[in-house]
Structure 1
Amino acid sequence: MAGIRTLAQARAFVKRVGICGIFADVEGHSLWDATDLPDRQPGERGWGQKVSAVWTWKNLLPARHPDEIFYGKVKGGKAVLMSMARLREHYPQHHLPVRECSPVAQRIYHALKFDPMTTPELRRHLDMTHPPQRNQFERGLKELQITLNIARRNSEEDENDTWVLFREQYLEIAADER
């Protein structure tokens, strides 16, 4: 265990390991496992210190340090934090042109071409709020993250996940592949 107790320590951890899962192990590293804060105690309300910290850090690290840390999903759908150096290595091997993605993923992508949207806004915009379309929407959204076609916008002001095209937020990385 790395003994992480602060945002600064979490930042240093991600930069050192290159990639880590948020709550699950990815390539031998997990922010959850490396965090040394107490779990929720019996009778305690809310999430407890450890869950609250890890959940907050996964959003704050890429928002405060967008040139250093990326939040996304990898094959299998696991959420990860990744250093920019690692993202540069990861992108060419894992990016898939949107035209090769599923029809639902393509619809989601095209809806984001002009404006960022939160997950609920996007779901409503595409009229995919009820099963089975809702499940198809979730799979398409995950597919676009895994294939590095969309990314969560790096903003501390966003209360909900707000999606943008990957190439708009990470133009330098996407341009390197061409």
Structure 2
Amino acid sequence: MQIIKTFEEAFQFVMDRKVCTIFGSKGSPHPSLWDNTALSEKKPKAGGWSPKVMAVWDWKTRIPQTYPELVYYGKIKGGDAVMMEMQYFRETHYPASFKPVSDLDELAQQVYEFIRLEPAFTGLLRKRAIEQFGCTKSQFDTAIKKLQISLNIVRSNDPSLKNDFWLSMREVHLDLVNRYEINSSNEPAKDGRADR
């Protein structure tokens, strides 16, 4: 049953479902914004995108920008783009899905260092990676996807930015990163006890 027609309904859908994909994919356990949007898929006679495509594309960006404390946007295992209710992201998804950048391949680590040292737009990062590491566009795109899925980078929610601008997860969610690193460490905490 398609139920979503407005921005407010799309936001409430994310909050109610906790996790939703944007355009959906076969075999995903999560509902999709696309499948639950009740707008026309017909392209206008003058050309361009259908009302449904325009709305879903807008919502996937505008919801996390409007409600950055309530909604997380990123990619999950398998590569689907999702929006998540923030409490679910912080308490369930992040602890279960975080993977240290040191566990990723060399190119992903190198791209992460670019972002950690100087957050940037996708185009600039891609150009630098291709020039410095001799990777292909596809290899770079895969590295960005791996960094998102492993929760090491996140897209900026700054509404003044029209293209994807990448930040380290630490820069956006420092308290969460610090808490998880401390709780997952084998090193003794300040009180002298190990957390594992």
- Compute the TM-score of the two structures, normalised by the length of structure 1: 0.93
Contact 1:73 1:79 survives alignment (8 Å):
yes
Higher relative contact order (CA 8 A, sep 6+): 1
| Structure 1 counterpart of 2:71 | 69
| Structure 1 counterpart of 2:52 | 50
Specify the SS of the correspondent of 1:156. coil
What's the CA shift for 1:20?
Answer: 0.5
What's the CA shift for 1:31?
Answer: 0.3
CA distance in 2, matches of 1:68, 1:44: 37
Query: Identity across aligned pairs (percent)?
Result: 38
| Structure 2 counterpart of 1:11 | 11
Contact 2:121 2:164 survives alignment (8 Å):
yes
| Structure 1 counterpart of 2:189 | none
Specify the SS of the correspondent of 2:34. helix
Structure 1: segments with no counterpart, 5+ residues: none
Contact 1:145 1:151 survives alignment (8 Å):
yes
| Structure 2 counterpart of 1:106 | 109
The residue type equivalent to 1:54 in the other structure is V
Contact 1:73 1:145 survives alignment (8 Å):
yes
| Structure 1 counterpart of 2:191 | none
| Structure 1 counterpart of 2:190 | none
**Between Structure 1 and Structure 2, whose CA radius of gyration is higher?**
2
| Structure 1 counterpart of 2:194 | none
Matched, 1:139 2:142: yes
CA distance in 2, matches of 1:73, 1:128: 26
Structure 2: segments with no counterpart, 5+ residues: 183-196
Contact 1:20 1:27 survives alignment (8 Å):
no
What's the CA shift for 1:44?
Answer: 4.7
- Compute the TM-score of the two structures, normalised by the length of structure 2: 0.85
CA distance in 1, matches of 2:95, 2:131: 31
The residue type equivalent to 2:137 in the other structure is R
CA deviation string 1:111-140 (max 9, x = no partner): 0112221110101122259x9621111110
* More displaced stretch, 18-27 vs 77-86: 18-27
Specify the SS of the correspondent of 1:144. helix
Specify the SS of the correspondent of 1:4. coil
Contact 1:19 1:27 survives alignment (8 Å):
no
The residue type equivalent to 1:62 in the other structure is P
CA deviation string 1:76-113 (max 9, x = no partner): 10110111111111011111111111101001100011
Match of 1:93 among 93, 96, 101: 96
- What's the RMSD between the two structures over aligned residues? 1.7
CA distance in 1, matches of 2:2, 2:15: 13
CA distance in 1, matches of 2:77, 2:149: 6
What's the CA shift for 1:17?
Answer: 0.3
Deviating runs (4+, > 2 A) in structure 1?
25-28, 40-44
What's the CA shift for 1:21?
Answer: 0.5
Contact 2:43 2:49 survives alignment (8 Å):
no
The residue type equivalent to 1:74 in the other structure is I
What's the CA shift for 1:42?
Answer: 6.7
The residue type equivalent to 2:127 in the other structure is R
CA distance in 2, matches of 1:33, 1:76: 19
